[in-house]
Amino acid sequence: MKKNSCRGWKDVFSFTLTQTLKSKPYLIAMAIMFVFSVISMPLLSLITKNPAEAGDVKSNITKAYVSNQTPYTELAVSAELAAGYEGIVIESLTESEEVVTKRLAEEEVSAVLISITDNGMQANIRLLKSPEGPVKNYELQTLGESVQRAYQKAKMTALGVTEEQLAYLSVQVLPSAGVIDTKAAEVVEDTSITMGEYWFIYGLMFVIIMVSILSSTQVASSVVVEKSFKVLEYILISVRPLAIIVGKVLAMLVATLLQMLMLVLGLVVSNKISVGITGEENNVLAQYLSPEIMSNLNPGNVIIGLVVAGIGMVLYATLAGLCGATVSRMEEVNECLTVLTVATLVGFYIGMMAADGMMASGTTTFSTFALLFPLSSAFLLPGALLVGKVDLWILLLSVLILIISVMAMFAFVAKVYESLILHNGKRIRMKELLTIFKNSGKEASAENE
């Protein structure tokens, strides 16, 4: 790849970015994303809010029939009812359940039936209410949780287990891996990730793949549009072929990141609104993320993670631009993006399987491969870095491999892109693309001689 291969990329970048930011579809999409992100958290708080937990709604349950079909006769349900349900009349079932359920449906519509069974292997608690009564589902669920606590306490009492002994038996046991150094001192080396860390990595991978797909599709569509209207043929007079793809890739990546930034800004505003509605003072991230993850969310790790994700997106977007140049009509865009879709899914699923393995077994050969393989490292590495499960040598080597992969893709594009841009007709297949690459290499060698 010659030094002047990228001549003119700045002009392509500024022109493409300006036109994209001024386009109505882009502005409408950004506005919709911002509005939805702003209303997301308050709407979620209102939907998931349990009035019984807030203590601002009086219970509609007036009576509960208890059918205790377990070996434990003393079931102190009333003592364990949740706040707001102390006024319920508790009555042991003396009739058949069929008779009571019929009466609940026709007469006592505000009463419920609680049926408890225990076969020694599994205990079941079933609650029934009238389909026409005032009792809400959330009230039934809250009552069920209270009965569950009551039954657990009654069972432990019948077995002679005290609350202190139960707490001792319920202590979670966490295994950890360790090695012995030369001085016979144990060095703890726990490389596994928790369930919370797994979902954090998975969520971040999902965001990165969505941004990557969005920017890559825009790059391919832009190339096909300009190619179909013969615009690229005029651009080639003053701009090198590689500069076109570099300028478009970077422009679309910036445009997509601006949309994501608007989404994040909307979520920040949404969080403020949600705090005002619910009265909770804690940050949303602090509520759902563990302290270990929060401690790793420092500016340095965040910046490195963004750089890694950005380099990976450039790799995929360059591939998308190359795919877009292989067709001549907008109707063929989806067909030409098959290679990009397959590469993206392969990278995402490798990263997801590696995250599964890290949760079960910690750092393994496969997870190391996924952190180094460029198609998957763009998705997996940022999340693994932010949970503190990436060694320095893996980070440096992974970034180096990503950079080399991007340079190799640019070198490939530099040799075949001009031929692809000038091509009109049926879509160029992978075999034909490799032939163009070989022929361009031979032509370059002949010119040097």
Q: What is the maximal distance between C-alpha atoms in the chain?
A: 103
Residue 267 has a pLDDT of 77
Q: How far apart are CA 208 and CA 365, in angstroms?
A: 24
Domain boundary among 110, 141, 161: 161
Residue 122 shares a structural domain with residue 211: no
Contacts of 219 (CB under 8 A, 6+ apart): 248, 249, 252, 317, 320, 321, 324
The total domain count for the chain is: 2
Q: How far is CA 187 from CA 176, 177, 181, in A?
A: 11, 9, 7
Residue 300 shares a structural domain with residue 431: yes
Q: How far apart are CA 394 and CA 238, in angstroms?
A: 42
Q: Which is more confidently placed, 44 or 307?
A: 307
Q: For 375, phi and psi rounded to 5 degrees? A: -65, -30
Of all residues in the chain, what percent carry a pLDDT higher than 90? 6
For the chain, give the mean pLDDT.
Answer: 75
Residue 71 shares a structural domain with residue 151: yes
pLDDT tens-digit map of 50-75: 554 444 446 678 888 888 777 765 55
Angle 392-421/374-386 helices, nearest 10 degrees?
140
Domain boundary among 161, 179, 209: 161
Residue 250 shares a structural domain with residue 370: yes
Average confidence (pLDDT) over 423-427: 61
Residue 300 shares a structural domain with residue 363: yes
pLDDT tens-digit map of 288-328: 566 666 667 778 888 888 888 888 888 888 888 778 777 76
Task: Please indicate, yes or no, if residue 24 is contained in any of the structural domains.
Answer: no
**Cβ(129)–Cβ(112) under 8 Å?**
yes
Residue 265 shares a structural domain with residue 304: yes
Closest CA to 397 of 266, 308, 331: 308
Domain boundary among 161, 182, 215: 161
Q: How far apart are CA 36 and CA 379, in angstroms?
A: 25
| Confidence check: pLDDT of 88 > 50 | yes
Task: Please indicate, yes or no, if residue 102 is contained in any of the structural domains.
Answer: yes
Q: For 295, phi and psi rounded to 5 degrees? A: -70, -25
Q: Which domain holds residue 299?
A: 192-448
| Confidence check: pLDDT of 445 > 50 | no
CATH code at position 91: 3.40.190
Residue 110 shares a structural domain with residue 234: no
Task: Please indicate, yes or no, if residue 322 is contained in any of the structural domains.
Answer: yes
Task: Please indicate, yes or no, if residue 42 is contained in any of the structural domains.
Answer: no
Q: 3-class secondary structure for the chain?
A: CCHHHHCCHHHHHHHHHHHHHHCHHHHHHHHHHHHHHHHHHHHHHHHHCCHHHHCCCCCCCCEEEEEEECCCCCCCCHHHCCCCCCCCEEEECCCCHHHHHHHHHHCCCCEEEEEEEECCCCEEEEEEECCCCCCCHHHHHHHHHHHHHHHHHHHHHHCCCCHHHHHHHCCCCCCCCEEECCCCCEEECCCCCCHHHHHHHHHHHHHHHHHHHHHHHHHHHHHHHHHHCCHHHHHCCCCCHHHHHHHHHHHHHHHHHHHHHHHHHHHHHHHHHHHHHHCCCCCHHHHHCCHHHHHHCCHHHHHHHHHHHHHHHHHHHHHHHHHHCCCCCHHHHHHHCHHHHHHHHHHHHHHHHHHHHHHHHCCCHHHHHHHHCHHHHHHHHHHHHHCCCCCHHHHHHHHHHHHHHHHHHHHHHHHHHHHHHCCCCCCCCHHHHHHHHHHHHHHHHHHHC
| Confidence check: pLDDT of 219 > 70 | yes
Query: What are 173's two structure tokens?
Result: 């046991």
Residue 425 shares a structural domain with residue 296: yes
Task: Please indicate, yes or no, if residue 16 is contained in any of the structural domains.
Answer: no
Residue 230 shares a structural domain with residue 143: no
Query: What are 358's two structure tokens?
Result: 């890290």
Query: What are 22's two structure tokens?
Result: 């001024």
Q: Is the pTM of this model over 0.85?
A: no
Task: Please indicate, yes or no, if residue 11 is contained in any of the structural domains.
Answer: no
Contacts of 197 (CB under 8 A, 6+ apart): 290, 292, 293, 359, 387, 389
Task: Please indicate, yes or no, if residue 128 is contained in any of the structural domains.
Answer: yes
Query: What are 373's two structure tokens?
Result: 């393989």
Task: Please indicate, yes or no, if residue 233 is contained in any of the structural domains.
Answer: yes
Residue 355 shares a structural domain with residue 306: yes
The CA-based angle 94-97-99, given to 5 degrees, is 85
| Confidence check: pLDDT of 448 > 70 | no
Residue 157 shares a structural domain with residue 196: no
pLDDT tens-digit map of 111-152: 888 888 887 777 888 888 888 788 877 777 777 777 777 777
Residue 330 shares a structural domain with residue 430: yes
pLDDT tens-digit map of 188-211: 455 677 777 888 888 889 888 888
Q: How far is CA 109 from CA 82, 99, 135, 181, 202, in A?
A: 21, 14, 8, 70, 45
Q: Which stretch of 98-107, 213-222, 287-296, 381-390 has the lowest confidence by average pLDDT? A: 287-296
pLDDT tens-digit map of 321-351: 778 777 767 666 777 778 888 899 999 999 9
